[in-house]
Amino acid sequence: MVRGGMFTARNPRSLTAAAFVSTWLVFGGGGAWGQEVDDCGGGAELAVAVTDQSGSISLPGATVIVEWGDATAPPVRASTRADGSLLLCVPRSAERAVVRAELGDQTSGEASVLFEPEAAREVVLRIPLDVATAAPRPPGRPGRLIGSVRDALTDDPVHVVIVSLAGQPKSVDTGRQGRFVMSGVPAGTHVLETRRIGYAPLRHVVSVEEGRTTEVDIALVPAPVEMEPLVTTAVRSRRLEIKGFYERKRWGELLGLGTYITEDYIERWRPKEVAHLVSMLAPGISVDRNGRMINRRSSCPMTNYLDGVRVERFLGWAKPHEVAGIEVYKGAASLPADFGGPTGQCGVVVVWTR
């Protein structure tokens, strides 16, 4: 599990190898290292951490080469652990060493270290790694990444987290349980990235073996979200305001009484005739050859109003660019008092011009 931006990667076949890994490393005193490895018997210790050039991403699987200044001690070649670190016991005869690291075709600079008896020395090696090509990816069977993402404070699953690999076009989202599966991942070392609004982004290197599955557990740290103020504006027709259109629309949509077509809808659809727009946006309404609106449920013509005046049909009376709003009521039970009466049994269509 990852805490405070920490990250754990493990192979299901070897769960005992799981280790906590931080996305950043701070090297102060050497006491913390002594708790993580076997005792060197009172001798000097060399703690090595390998990161990318920025120092923010640790690099597991990097090869550390140590050449001791004493010719009697053979050079060391060893791989960093899951957290990008390596601790070595210094030979008692060694007084100095030259240390470097390699990952794929990239290499770090050399660091010279002088040792003192029973002292721990710490070295950070930075590899100028291009995260888009984090490591050579040999051909062969791809691997797979599976994992879970949780809130670092509450331990609750975090869903809709975007999980991706740097330089790869494919991304996946976590489900309701915070789980994700990424198949067809090329074997090699990749930079795993997670993003979700409200949480600090996470970037960490993971190693994927050919034909095998790597499981990762991630705990994201909630972060304050800074956003610009959002302001929405709506321009209302003064004419429709006076005629009560917006009040009927508010209650009608809340109670499901009718269909309301505003000016922005009309400009978006750009119909040739008003009647055709109504039949398109109000299901169950059609237009006969005479331009009358027909309620298909009752198979009878609807009552039409233009600016509050009853008309037989809309064809020729108002063009779409002249219309500011339309109200459609399909039955007598949904009619507002303004358009009630026995003539509205088959429904009513009301058109308001600008």
Using CA atoms, how far apart are residues 129 and 52, in angstroms rounded to an integer?
6
User: Which of 67-71, 101-105, 218-222, 264-268 is modeled with the greatest confidence?
Assistant: 218-222
pLDDT at 4 over 50: no
Using CA atoms, how far apart are residues 332 and 227, in angstroms rounded to an integer?
48
How is the chain split into domains, by residue range? 1-20+131-225, 37-129, 238-353
| Joined tokens for residue 8 | 């754990």
Count of all residues that appear for the chain in the document = 354
Examine domains 1-20+131-225 and 37-129 and report if their fold is the same: yes
CATH, range 37-129: 2.60.40.1120
| Joined tokens for residue 325 | 């709003």
Q: What is the pLDDT of residue 180?
A: 92
pLDDT at 48 over 80: yes
pLDDT at 13 over 50: no
Q: What is the pLDDT of residue 81?
A: 82
pLDDT at 46 over 50: yes
Q: What is the pLDDT of residue 238?
A: 81
User: Which of 52-66, 151-165, 288-302, 313-327 is modeled with the greatest confidence?
Assistant: 151-165
| pTM over cut 0.75 | no
Using CA atoms, how far apart are residues 57 and 264, in angstroms rounded to an integer?
50
Strand 76-79 to 63-68 pairing: antiparallel
Task: Average the pLDDT over 219-228 and give the result.
Answer: 77
With CA atoms as reference, report the closest residue to 101 among 128, 130, 137: 128
With CA atoms as reference, report the closest residue to 66 among 37, 49, 44, 88: 88
Pairwise pLDDT comparison (28 vs 205), residue with the higher score = 205
| C-alpha distances in Å from residue 12, one per residue of 15, 18, 209 | 6, 10, 12
Average pLDDT along the chain? 77
Q: What is the pLDDT of residue 6?
A: 42
Contacts 24+ apart (CB under 8 A), 274-282: 274/314, 274/315, 274/318, 274/319, 274/320, 274/323, 274/326, 274/351, 275/313, 275/314, 275/315, 277/320, 277/326, 278/326, 278/328, 278/349, 282/328, 282/330
In the sheet that holds 120-127, the strands lie side by side as 85-89, 45-52, 120-127
pLDDT at 107 over 50: yes
Using CA atoms, how far apart are residues 91 and 66, in angstroms rounded to an integer?
12
130 Cβ partners below 8 Å, 6+ apart?
106
Task: Average the pLDDT over 270-289 and give the result.
Answer: 78
Alpha helices in 112-170 (DSSP H): none
**SS3 label, residue 249:** helix
| Joined tokens for residue 209 | 């073996």
Task: Average the pLDDT over 148-158 and give the result.
Answer: 92
Q: Which residue has the tokens 């754990």?
A: 8
Using CA atoms, how far apart are residues 307 and 121, in angstroms rounded to an integer?
87
Among 156-170, 242-256, 332-346, the minimum mean pLDDT is found in 332-346
pLDDT at 203 over 80: yes
Using CA atoms, how far apart are residues 12 and 17, in angstroms rounded to an integer?
10
CATH class of residue range 238-353: mainly beta
Q: How confident is the model at residue 157 (pLDDT cuts 50, 70, 90)?
A: very high
**SS3 label, residue 209:** coil
CATH class of residue range 1-20+131-225: mainly beta
